[in-house]
Amino acid sequence: MGEIDFSKKIVKILDKNILQMIIKKAVTKGFTVQGFTKNVCMAPETLICAALERKKKGKYQSSLFLDALNETETDDEIVNLAKKWLKDKDERDEIEQKIEQISIEKTEKKKKEVIIEEKSLQADIKNEENENYKKEIQQLQAKNKKLQNTIQDLRIGGDNSQKEILRLQKEKGKLEKQIEENECENSELKDEIGHLKEEIKKLERELALYKQENLAYQEIFKKAPKVLCFSKKDINKDNFPFYNVDQLKQWSDECEETIKKNEYKEIWIIETDFSYSEVVKMKQLPCEKIVLKSNIKTLIEKVGGFSNGYAR
């Protein structure tokens, strides 16, 4: 394994804090990362790996990185193995095997962490949906209770009116006019009770529809396809409620190796954000469907989503 490939392998498995320490030392030797004139140590892993392949005054930057690593004093297994690799060429095969095993273990660990994080996210979404559903139910129940109390009050009023009618009937004659007025009032109360009963039935039907819609949306979110979007502008994932969207803002040849077959159902490309050669490489990534659009608005129109607040 050459210095460049070995350096890349080390970068990918080093502890983040130790990597930043080594990059800081490498910068003093002339190490640079494209796009990071300041705070080079904060550059993403993919750009650091790409920088290792570039030459600086006729010398690959991977050598600058390894020199800095060799001068770093820290009790770390990977750093110690790398120092042995630089010191003893006869033991390189054995050291490279150990490094590869560590890389495999860390990759598996990252996969498990991602799975755990996805499950936690799905649980949070479900809990939030349930909380919203409970709030809606509570609001409807409160409204229903208020209507029932109103009905009860009206019923009591109706009973009182009936009693009043009986009393007025005894007085006949001069009170007949008053009796007619009370009977008319009672009729209006009955009409209002009937109207409230219809309102309750309507609310009960709405509640049943809300329950059905909630179940339907839960099924949709469970089956949301995973997609990857190449865009240099931030994607508002709320614009795509029926997709599980990952975003990459920059293209790197490392993507050809890191993006596995069947990992994404679709790949979306905002082609105006990237060069022609980058778009060609993106189109060769493994997935069921490639979607090319010039901006987020036309992407939403193509794949389906909400256009409120889309990024141009």
Question: What tokens were used for 248?
Answer: 């990459």
pTM check: above 0.85: no
Helix (H, G, I), strand (E, B) or coil at 187: helix
Q: How would residue 273 be classed by pLDDT, with cut points 50, 70 and 90?
A: very high
Measured in whole angstroms, how far is the alpha carbon of residue 273 from the centre of its chain? 22
- Buried b / exposed e over 83-122, threshold 16 CB at 10 Å, is bebbeeeeebeebbeebeebeeeeeeeeeeeeeeeeeeee
Q: Is the pLDDT of residue 89 over 70?
A: yes
Q: What is the average per-residue pLDDT within 177-189? A: 84
Reported confidence tier of residue 308, pLDDT bands at 50, 70, 90: low
CB 251 within 8 A of CB 230: yes
Q: In whole angstroms, what is the distance from residue 239 CA to residue 308 CA?
A: 7
Judge whether 40 and 65 are in contact, CB under 8 Å: no
pLDDT at 201 over 70: yes
Mean pLDDT for the chain?
87
Average pLDDT of the segment spanning 216-236: 84
**Whole-number Cα distances in Å, 41 to 13, 17, 24, 210:** 15, 9, 6, 52
Look at residue 311 in the predicted model and tell me its pLDDT: 44
Of 53-57, 132-136, 297-301, the range with the lowest mean pLDDT is 132-136
| CA separation for the pair 282, 16 (Å, rounded) | 28
The dihedral sign for the CA sequence 35, 41, 43, 47:
positive
Indicate whether 55 pLDDT > 80: yes
pLDDT score recorded for residue 59: 87
pLDDT at 241 (0 to 100) = 87
Which letter does DSSP use for residue 35 in this model? T
Phi, psi of 76 (to 5 degrees): -135, 130
Residue 218 has a pLDDT of: 64
